[in-house]
Amino acid sequence: MCGIVGGIAQRNIVPILLEGLKRLEYRGYDSAGLAVINEQAIYRKRALGKVVGLETMLHKGPITGHIGIAHTRWATHGKPSTANAHPHVCRDKVVVVHNGIIENHEHLRGTLKADGYEFTSETDTEVIVHQVFQALETADNLLAAVKLTIKKLDGAYALGIMSTTEPNTLIACRKGSPLVIGVGIGEYFVASDVAALLPVTQRFIFLEEGDIAAITIEGVTIYDADDQIVERQIKESQLTADSVDKGSYRHYMLKEIYEQPFAISQALEGRFTRHHLQESAFGHNAATGFDNIKSVQILACGTSYHAGLVARYWF
Protein backbone atom coordinates (compact mmCIF):
# COMPACT_ATOMS: atom_id res chain seq x y z
CA MET A 1 0.00 0.00 0.00
CA CYS A 2 1.64 3.21 -1.17
CA GLY A 3 1.81 6.42 0.84
CA ILE A 4 1.63 10.04 -0.34
CA VAL A 5 2.76 13.24 1.35
CA GLY A 6 2.86 16.72 -0.16
CA GLY A 7 2.63 20.35 0.74
CA ILE A 8 3.23 24.01 0.07
CA ALA A 9 4.61 26.38 2.71
CA GLN A 10 6.76 29.45 3.31
CA ARG A 11 9.46 27.19 4.80
CA ASN A 12 11.53 24.37 3.32
CA ILE A 13 9.08 21.53 2.69
CA VAL A 14 11.65 18.69 2.53
CA PRO A 15 11.89 17.94 6.30
CA ILE A 16 8.08 17.83 6.48
CA LEU A 17 7.91 15.41 3.55
CA LEU A 18 10.53 13.13 5.10
CA GLU A 19 8.82 13.07 8.49
CA GLY A 20 5.51 12.35 6.79
CA LEU A 21 7.01 9.40 4.92
CA LYS A 22 8.40 7.98 8.17
CA ARG A 23 4.93 8.13 9.69
CA LEU A 24 3.54 6.16 6.73
CA GLU A 25 6.07 3.35 7.04
CA TYR A 26 3.47 1.14 8.72
CA ARG A 27 1.73 0.84 5.32
CA GLY A 28 4.63 -1.21 3.94
CA TYR A 29 6.84 -0.19 1.02
CA ASP A 30 9.93 -1.10 -1.01
CA SER A 31 11.19 2.34 -2.12
CA ALA A 32 10.78 6.02 -1.38
CA GLY A 33 11.24 9.33 -3.13
CA LEU A 34 10.39 13.00 -3.17
CA ALA A 35 10.47 15.98 -5.50
CA VAL A 36 10.36 19.74 -5.04
CA ILE A 37 10.06 22.68 -7.41
CA ASN A 38 12.55 25.45 -6.82
CA GLU A 39 13.18 28.38 -9.16
CA GLN A 40 10.94 26.73 -11.78
CA ALA A 41 12.97 23.51 -11.87
CA ILE A 42 12.11 20.02 -10.57
CA TYR A 43 14.57 18.43 -8.14
CA ARG A 44 14.00 14.76 -7.39
CA LYS A 45 15.56 12.09 -5.15
CA ARG A 46 14.59 8.40 -5.11
CA ALA A 47 15.97 5.46 -3.16
CA LEU A 48 15.35 1.72 -3.03
CA GLY A 49 14.61 0.45 0.47
CA LYS A 50 13.77 2.37 3.62
CA VAL A 51 13.07 6.08 4.06
CA VAL A 52 16.33 6.35 5.99
CA GLY A 53 18.13 5.59 2.71
CA LEU A 54 16.38 8.54 1.07
CA GLU A 55 17.25 10.67 4.09
CA THR A 56 20.93 9.73 3.79
CA MET A 57 20.85 10.61 0.10
CA LEU A 58 19.42 14.03 0.93
CA HIS A 59 22.09 14.66 3.55
CA LYS A 60 24.76 14.01 0.91
CA GLY A 61 23.01 16.07 -1.78
CA PRO A 62 20.46 18.42 -0.20
CA ILE A 63 17.55 19.87 -2.12
CA THR A 64 15.14 22.53 -0.89
CA GLY A 65 11.84 24.02 -1.95
CA HIS A 66 8.61 25.47 -0.66
CA ILE A 67 6.42 23.03 -2.59
CA GLY A 68 6.89 19.29 -2.94
CA ILE A 69 5.47 15.77 -3.08
CA ALA A 70 6.79 12.50 -1.67
CA HIS A 71 5.92 8.82 -1.87
CA THR A 72 6.54 5.36 -0.48
CA ARG A 73 5.95 2.63 -3.07
CA TRP A 74 4.75 -0.94 -2.73
CA ALA A 75 5.44 -2.60 -6.07
CA THR A 76 2.42 -3.58 -8.17
CA HIS A 77 3.50 -2.91 -11.77
CA GLY A 78 7.23 -3.46 -12.14
CA LYS A 79 9.82 -4.75 -9.70
CA PRO A 80 11.20 -2.74 -6.77
CA SER A 81 13.81 -0.45 -8.31
CA THR A 82 14.93 3.16 -8.32
CA ALA A 83 13.55 3.59 -11.85
CA ASN A 84 10.12 2.41 -10.73
CA ALA A 85 10.11 4.52 -7.56
CA HIS A 86 7.98 7.65 -7.42
CA PRO A 87 7.82 10.56 -8.11
CA HIS A 88 7.70 10.19 -11.89
CA VAL A 89 8.67 13.09 -14.15
CA CYS A 90 7.86 13.98 -17.76
CA ARG A 91 10.34 16.14 -19.69
CA ASP A 92 11.38 18.09 -16.58
CA LYS A 93 8.00 19.81 -16.58
CA VAL A 94 5.45 17.62 -14.75
CA VAL A 95 5.93 15.43 -11.67
CA VAL A 96 3.43 12.95 -10.16
CA VAL A 97 2.99 10.62 -7.18
CA HIS A 98 0.23 8.02 -7.25
CA ASN A 99 -1.45 5.52 -4.95
CA GLY A 100 -3.73 2.99 -6.64
CA ILE A 101 -3.88 0.96 -9.83
CA ILE A 102 -4.64 2.23 -13.35
CA GLU A 103 -6.44 -0.64 -15.08
CA ASN A 104 -6.09 0.69 -18.64
CA HIS A 105 -2.42 1.69 -18.37
CA GLU A 106 -1.29 -0.66 -21.16
CA HIS A 107 -3.65 0.95 -23.67
CA LEU A 108 -2.60 4.45 -22.58
CA ARG A 109 1.07 3.47 -22.73
CA GLY A 110 0.68 2.29 -26.31
CA THR A 111 -1.06 5.50 -27.36
CA LEU A 112 1.53 7.71 -25.66
CA LYS A 113 4.44 5.78 -27.19
CA ALA A 114 2.87 6.29 -30.60
CA ASP A 115 2.82 10.02 -29.82
CA GLY A 116 6.54 10.00 -29.10
CA TYR A 117 6.65 9.73 -25.30
CA GLU A 118 9.52 7.69 -23.85
CA PHE A 119 8.96 5.51 -20.79
CA THR A 120 11.70 4.97 -18.22
CA SER A 121 9.79 2.71 -15.83
CA GLU A 122 7.49 -0.32 -15.79
CA THR A 123 4.83 1.41 -13.68
CA ASP A 124 1.24 2.22 -14.48
CA THR A 125 1.84 5.62 -12.87
CA GLU A 126 4.13 6.85 -15.62
CA VAL A 127 1.23 7.02 -18.07
CA ILE A 128 -0.36 9.64 -15.80
CA VAL A 129 2.58 12.03 -15.82
CA HIS A 130 2.90 11.83 -19.62
CA GLN A 131 -0.85 12.24 -20.02
CA VAL A 132 -0.81 15.42 -17.90
CA PHE A 133 2.12 16.79 -19.93
CA GLN A 134 0.25 16.10 -23.15
CA ALA A 135 -2.92 17.72 -21.81
CA LEU A 136 -0.96 20.85 -20.83
CA GLU A 137 -0.29 21.50 -24.51
CA THR A 138 -3.96 22.43 -25.01
CA ALA A 139 -5.30 23.07 -21.49
CA ASP A 140 -5.47 26.55 -19.96
CA ASN A 141 -3.69 25.52 -16.77
CA LEU A 142 -2.50 22.57 -14.67
CA LEU A 143 -5.89 22.04 -13.05
CA ALA A 144 -7.57 21.79 -16.45
CA ALA A 145 -4.88 19.38 -17.66
CA VAL A 146 -5.43 17.12 -14.66
CA LYS A 147 -9.19 17.17 -15.22
CA LEU A 148 -8.64 16.07 -18.83
CA THR A 149 -6.22 13.36 -17.71
CA ILE A 150 -8.36 11.69 -15.05
CA LYS A 151 -11.21 11.32 -17.54
CA LYS A 152 -8.96 8.87 -19.40
CA LEU A 153 -8.02 6.81 -16.32
CA ASP A 154 -9.81 3.57 -15.41
CA GLY A 155 -9.11 2.31 -11.91
CA ALA A 156 -8.27 3.73 -8.51
CA TYR A 157 -5.99 6.63 -7.72
CA ALA A 158 -4.90 9.22 -5.23
CA LEU A 159 -2.65 11.75 -6.97
CA GLY A 160 -0.30 14.56 -6.11
CA ILE A 161 0.75 16.58 -9.18
CA MET A 162 3.03 19.60 -9.75
CA SER A 163 4.35 21.41 -12.82
CA THR A 164 7.01 24.00 -13.51
CA THR A 165 4.36 25.85 -15.55
CA GLU A 166 2.68 26.70 -12.22
CA PRO A 167 5.41 26.31 -9.60
CA ASN A 168 3.17 27.48 -6.75
CA THR A 169 0.27 25.06 -7.31
CA LEU A 170 -0.21 21.52 -6.05
CA ILE A 171 -3.08 19.45 -7.46
CA ALA A 172 -4.51 16.60 -5.39
CA CYS A 173 -7.32 14.27 -6.44
CA ARG A 174 -8.77 10.94 -5.45
CA LYS A 175 -10.92 8.10 -6.71
CA GLY A 176 -10.98 4.85 -4.76
CA SER A 177 -7.91 5.73 -2.68
CA PRO A 178 -7.94 8.01 0.39
CA LEU A 179 -6.45 11.50 0.50
CA VAL A 180 -6.61 14.16 3.18
CA ILE A 181 -5.61 17.85 3.16
CA GLY A 182 -3.92 19.31 6.22
CA VAL A 183 -4.68 22.97 6.95
CA GLY A 184 -1.90 24.92 8.63
CA ILE A 185 -1.31 28.62 9.23
CA GLY A 186 -0.44 29.98 5.80
CA GLU A 187 0.54 26.50 4.62
CA TYR A 188 -1.27 23.42 3.31
CA PHE A 189 -0.43 19.75 3.12
CA VAL A 190 -1.78 16.55 1.60
CA ALA A 191 -1.34 12.91 2.63
CA SER A 192 -2.78 9.43 2.44
CA ASP A 193 -3.35 9.44 6.21
CA VAL A 194 -3.69 12.10 8.92
CA ALA A 195 -0.86 10.37 10.82
CA ALA A 196 1.63 11.73 8.29
CA LEU A 197 0.68 15.34 9.03
CA LEU A 198 0.09 15.42 12.80
CA PRO A 199 3.46 17.10 13.51
CA VAL A 200 2.37 20.13 11.43
CA THR A 201 -1.41 20.37 11.89
CA GLN A 202 -4.47 18.86 13.55
CA ARG A 203 -6.95 20.45 11.12
CA PHE A 204 -7.98 18.31 8.17
CA ILE A 205 -10.20 18.27 5.10
CA PHE A 206 -11.13 14.76 3.99
CA LEU A 207 -11.49 14.70 0.21
CA GLU A 208 -14.53 12.81 -1.01
CA GLU A 209 -14.75 10.39 -3.92
CA GLY A 210 -14.03 12.20 -7.19
CA ASP A 211 -12.76 15.40 -5.56
CA ILE A 212 -9.99 17.48 -7.15
CA ALA A 213 -8.20 20.11 -5.05
CA ALA A 214 -6.09 23.00 -6.31
CA ILE A 215 -3.77 23.98 -3.46
CA THR A 216 -1.76 27.19 -3.28
CA ILE A 217 -0.25 29.19 -0.44
CA GLU A 218 -3.43 31.32 -0.47
CA GLY A 219 -5.81 28.42 0.08
CA VAL A 220 -7.58 25.35 -1.28
CA THR A 221 -10.25 25.17 -4.00
CA ILE A 222 -12.09 21.85 -4.24
CA TYR A 223 -14.10 20.57 -7.20
CA ASP A 224 -16.43 17.61 -6.78
CA ALA A 225 -17.06 14.74 -9.20
CA ASP A 226 -19.51 16.97 -11.11
CA ASP A 227 -16.84 19.68 -11.51
CA GLN A 228 -18.63 22.03 -9.11
CA ILE A 229 -16.73 24.08 -6.53
CA VAL A 230 -17.62 22.76 -3.08
CA GLU A 231 -16.80 23.52 0.54
CA ARG A 232 -15.56 20.59 2.59
CA GLN A 233 -15.67 20.80 6.36
CA ILE A 234 -12.42 21.30 8.27
CA LYS A 235 -12.26 18.76 11.08
CA GLU A 236 -10.10 18.89 14.20
CA SER A 237 -8.25 15.66 14.95
CA GLN A 238 -7.93 14.56 18.57
CA LEU A 239 -4.89 12.48 17.71
CA THR A 240 -1.45 13.73 18.65
CA ALA A 241 1.85 13.12 16.89
CA ASP A 242 3.06 11.04 19.86
CA SER A 243 0.01 8.79 19.74
CA VAL A 244 0.78 7.50 16.24
CA ASP A 245 4.57 7.20 16.15
CA LYS A 246 6.63 4.27 17.47
CA GLY A 247 8.05 6.19 20.40
CA SER A 248 10.44 3.99 22.37
CA TYR A 249 9.04 0.75 20.94
CA ARG A 250 11.05 -1.28 18.44
CA HIS A 251 8.15 -1.60 16.02
CA TYR A 252 4.47 -0.70 15.67
CA MET A 253 3.19 -4.18 16.55
CA LEU A 254 4.94 -4.02 19.93
CA LYS A 255 3.50 -0.55 20.52
CA GLU A 256 0.01 -1.82 19.69
CA ILE A 257 0.33 -4.76 22.09
CA TYR A 258 1.43 -2.63 25.03
CA GLU A 259 -1.12 0.10 24.35
CA GLN A 260 -4.14 -2.23 24.16
CA PRO A 261 -5.23 -1.73 27.81
CA PHE A 262 -5.10 2.06 27.40
CA ALA A 263 -6.91 1.90 24.04
CA ILE A 264 -9.70 -0.24 25.52
CA SER A 265 -10.10 2.00 28.56
CA GLN A 266 -10.28 5.08 26.30
CA ALA A 267 -12.93 3.43 24.12
CA LEU A 268 -15.09 2.57 27.15
CA GLU A 269 -14.44 5.71 29.18
CA GLY A 270 -17.64 7.66 29.75
CA ARG A 271 -19.77 4.89 28.24
CA PHE A 272 -20.16 3.03 31.48
CA THR A 273 -19.22 3.25 35.15
CA ARG A 274 -19.97 1.04 38.12
CA HIS A 275 -23.40 2.66 38.41
CA HIS A 276 -24.23 3.88 34.90
CA LEU A 277 -24.49 2.56 31.33
CA GLN A 278 -24.75 4.84 28.29
CA GLU A 279 -27.83 3.58 26.46
CA SER A 280 -26.78 5.12 23.14
CA ALA A 281 -23.66 2.93 23.22
CA PHE A 282 -25.09 -0.34 24.52
CA GLY A 283 -28.84 -0.21 23.80
CA HIS A 284 -31.96 0.53 25.83
CA ASN A 285 -31.96 -2.81 27.64
CA ALA A 286 -28.25 -2.82 28.38
CA ALA A 287 -28.52 -2.53 32.17
CA THR A 288 -30.81 -5.55 32.40
CA GLY A 289 -28.89 -7.44 29.74
CA PHE A 290 -25.53 -7.11 31.45
CA ASP A 291 -27.04 -8.28 34.74
CA ASN A 292 -28.23 -11.47 33.05
CA ILE A 293 -25.04 -12.39 31.16
CA LYS A 294 -24.31 -16.08 31.58
CA SER A 295 -21.36 -16.44 29.20
CA VAL A 296 -18.89 -14.46 27.08
CA GLN A 297 -18.02 -15.41 23.49
CA ILE A 298 -14.63 -14.38 22.11
CA LEU A 299 -14.46 -14.28 18.30
CA ALA A 300 -11.00 -13.86 16.78
CA CYS A 301 -8.52 -15.09 14.18
CA GLY A 302 -4.74 -15.28 13.90
CA THR A 303 -2.80 -14.18 16.96
CA SER A 304 -5.97 -12.63 18.39
CA TYR A 305 -7.38 -16.16 18.56
CA HIS A 306 -4.44 -17.21 20.72
CA ALA A 307 -5.05 -14.22 22.98
CA GLY A 308 -8.68 -15.31 23.20
CA LEU A 309 -7.65 -18.78 24.34
CA VAL A 310 -5.80 -17.16 27.24
CA ALA A 311 -8.67 -14.79 28.01
CA ARG A 312 -11.18 -17.64 28.34
CA TYR A 313 -9.65 -18.43 31.73
CA TRP A 314 -10.60 -14.99 33.01
CA PHE A 315 -14.33 -15.71 32.94
- Which pLDDT score is estimated for 244? 63
What's the mean per-residue pLDDT of the chain? Answer: 89
CA gap 244, 139 in Å, rounded: 41
Task: Provide the β-strand partners of residue 37.
Answer: 42, 67
Tally the residues of the chain.
Answer: 315
Same domain, residue pair 191 and 263: no
- Which pLDDT score is estimated for 2? 80
- Between residues 27 and 53, the one the model is more confident about: 53
With a cut of 80, say whether residue 204 has pLDDT above it.
yes
Starting at the earlier edge strand, list the strands of the sheet with 88-90: 88-90, 94-102, 155-163, 166-175, 212-216, 219-223, 229-230
With a cut of 80, say whether residue 43 has pLDDT above it.
yes
Which of 238, 268, 291 lies at the terminal end of a domain, its last residue?
Answer: 238
Q: Of 168, 160, 157, which is closest to residue 219 (Cα–Cα)?
A: 168
pLDDT tens-place string over residues 216-230: 999 999 999 999 999
What's the angle, vertex CA 122, arms to CA 119 and CA 128, rounded to 5? 60
Same domain, residue pair 106 and 139: yes
pLDDT tens-place string over residues 68-114: 999 997 767 667 788 899 899 999 999 999 999 899 999 999 999 99
Compute the average pLDDT of residues 37-54: 93
With a cut of 80, say whether residue 279 has pLDDT above it.
no
Same domain, residue pair 161 and 262: no
Q: Of 7, 51, 12, which is closest to residue 29 (Cα–Cα)?
A: 51
- Which pLDDT score is estimated for 120? 93
pTM: 0.80
The top-scoring range by mean pLDDT among 227-241, 251-265, 287-301 is 227-241
- Which pLDDT score is estimated for 261? 79
Same domain, residue pair 225 and 252: no
With a cut of 80, say whether residue 188 has pLDDT above it.
yes
With a cut of 80, say whether residue 27 has pLDDT above it.
no
Same domain, residue pair 102 and 8: yes
Same domain, residue pair 121 and 250: no
Largest CA distance in the chain: 74
- Which pLDDT score is estimated for 280? 66
- Which pLDDT score is estimated for 1? 60
Same domain, residue pair 219 and 108: yes
Kindly indicate the confidence band of residue 247, based on its pLDDT and cuts at 50, 70 and 90: low
- Between residues 40 and 238, the one the model is more confident about: 40
Q: What is the domain-level CATH number for residue 34?
A: 3.60.20.10
Which domain does 283 fall in, by range? 246-314
Same domain, residue pair 151 and 255: no
- Which pLDDT score is estimated for 126? 95
What's the number of domains the chain is made of? 2
